[in-house]
Amino acid sequence: MSEGPFVPPADASRTGWLFIQWRQLTSSSTHRRVFAAVATIALLTALARFVGLAKELLVARRFGTGATIEAYLIALLIPMLAINVISTSLSVALIPTYVATRERKGKVAAQELLSGITVWTLLLLLIISLLIIALARLYLPYIASGFNEYKLALTFELLIAVTPIVVLSGIGNIWGAVLNAGERFALVALAPAVTPAVMIVALLVVRHSIFALPLGMVVGAALETILLGMALRARGVSLRPRWRGFDSQLREVAGQFGHRVGASGLRSGSVVVDRSLAAMLAPGNVAALNYGSRIVMTVLSIAGVALGSAVTPYYANMAAQKDWEGLRRLLKRYTILVLLASVPVTILLYFSAAPIVRLIYERGSFRARDTQIVAQVHALYALQIPFYLGTVLIGRFLGSLLASHVLVWAAVINVSLNILLDILLIKPLGVSGLALASGCASLITFCFLSYVSLREVNARVLR
């Protein structure tokens, strides 16, 4: 039976009436709930990224494109690679199995799965952190081949200082994933504001020492993890690690995790290759690549986190109920909407590159000559926005189908193309060629994933 129009009570305030209207709009269907989640996450993530941007402005003002900031950026490469490849992959792989376990076997079984994953995560990330430091003197000379002895020594010291974020961020990602699986998105979206805020305070206190950055990052990551843990405890979820054996749920997560690690490792390897190639160019190119990608990566981070976090629980629930037709409709609708919405943003960022870079960065040690090269990198990085966001949607969709192995092939295509195009474009275009290569590789990867995802879901619909 259809409902009549909502009529607010006579004593309702305008604010209360608008709130009720919003609740009706966003809770009457899956599409509207997804929209509400995307809007909430995007807004709060934007606030968090705004704090991050303020930190970037202060860093650019203090350190410009000098030797110390380049040493810090290279020191951050491998720890961030571990976070993106290991902990992020594990949190994404966990959600479909966690939701299915909770829906089919109850909260107790879901709690046991979380406790086992926590043990696994702690051991894995502790081992990886020790290896990052132990092997640093072997790999740093290769990924920073253009650095002199002083810069390499500084890079090693910064690496030791920043590596604890691997464990802290890994646990925080797991706890944030569980909150998202319960459709509690707000705190998870806003928590990343803590780390850049702490880094700003560290820079103001320690002032011109580059070690303020790793110090602030580690303390901020610890505070983020504590906040997420407190939120889970408030919902009655135990944070205590417990190992109950390698049961079927853990094996399922491990299988998806392996595929995610392979895909993320290959994709993140492109970042290492790009930074390493930039380090072989004239001094300042590593920093130019970082600053040039920062604004675009901020946009992608806000939109990507919002889309991925919002759709994953709904994908997982539909897959648990075997609603393949609903999954197909959801994927098609949101892929089209994302592409249509992101094209104007891409055009704006491309043609306004120089004014944006000048407005945001050009002050202190960041000079007009830096603006020109950073703006070129920024404009070419912007070309990948529609394809990157489309890939996020499709990647989470394939994860809900437990078909993460497809992402490994997509990553092979992406990295192979990216490296090939890097080599071809870096000579005529310099550091800007690295940005253009990323955009071209993203386009081809998106086309491949679009074809495979439709084939996968169509096969399930026809069963």
Evaluate whether 92 touches 99 at the Cβ level (below 8 Å): no
pLDDT value at residue 220:
93
Residue 309 amino acid letter: S
pLDDT at 224: 92
User: Phi first, then psi: what are they for 301, rounded to 5°?
Assistant: -65, -45
Are 300 and 385 contacting, i.e. CB atoms less than 8 angstroms apart?
A: yes
d(CA 137, CA 126): 19
The angle at the Cα of 417, spanning 132 to 293, to the nearest 5 degrees, equals 60
Whole-angstrom distance, CA of residue 76 vs CA of residue 155: 9
pLDDT at 135: 93
Q: Scan for tokens 């997982």, then name that residue.
A: 316
CA 40 to chain CA centroid, nearest Å: 17
User: What residue type is assigned to position 216 of the chain?
Assistant: G
pLDDT of residue 1: 36
Question: Contact, 221 vs 169, CB < 8 A?
Answer: yes
- Which of these, 109, 128, 122, lies nearest to 250 by C-alpha position? 109
Whether the model clears a pTM of 0.85, i.e. scores above it, the answer is no
Tokens of 221: 């990551």
- Where do the domains of the chain lie? 31-238+248-461
Strand, helix or coil at 17?
A: helix
pLDDT (tens digit per residue) in 100-155: 788 778 888 888 888 888 888 889 899 999 999 999 988 888 887 778 888 888 88
- Per residue of the chain (463 residues), what is the pLDDT tens digit? 333 433 444 444 544 544 554 454 444 466 667 777 777 777 887 888 788 878 887 887 777 767 788 888 888 888 988 887 787 777 777 887 888 788 778 888 888 888 888 888 889 899 999 999 999 988 888 887 778 888 888 889 999 999 999 999 989 988 888 887 776 777 888 888 899 999 999 888 887 788 888 999 999 999 999 999 998 888 888 888 887 777 777 777 777 777 777 666 667 667 777 877 887 887 777 778 888 888 888 888 788 877 877 777 777 777 777 778 878 887 888 888 888 888 998 999 999 888 888 887 777 667 777 788 888 888 998 999 999 898 888 888 887 777 777 888 888 888 888 889 988 998 888 888 888 998 899 899 999 988 888 888 877 766 6
Helices in 182-247 by DSSP H: which ranges?
A: 186-190, 194-206, 212-234
pLDDT at 128: 92
Nearest to 191 by CA among 73, 294, 41, 297: 41
Can you give 32-94 as a three-state secondary structure string? HHHHHHHHHHHHHHHHHHHHHHHHHHHHHHHHCCCHHHHHHHHHHHHHHHHHHHHHHHHHHHH
Q: How far apart are the first and last CA of the chain?
A: 32
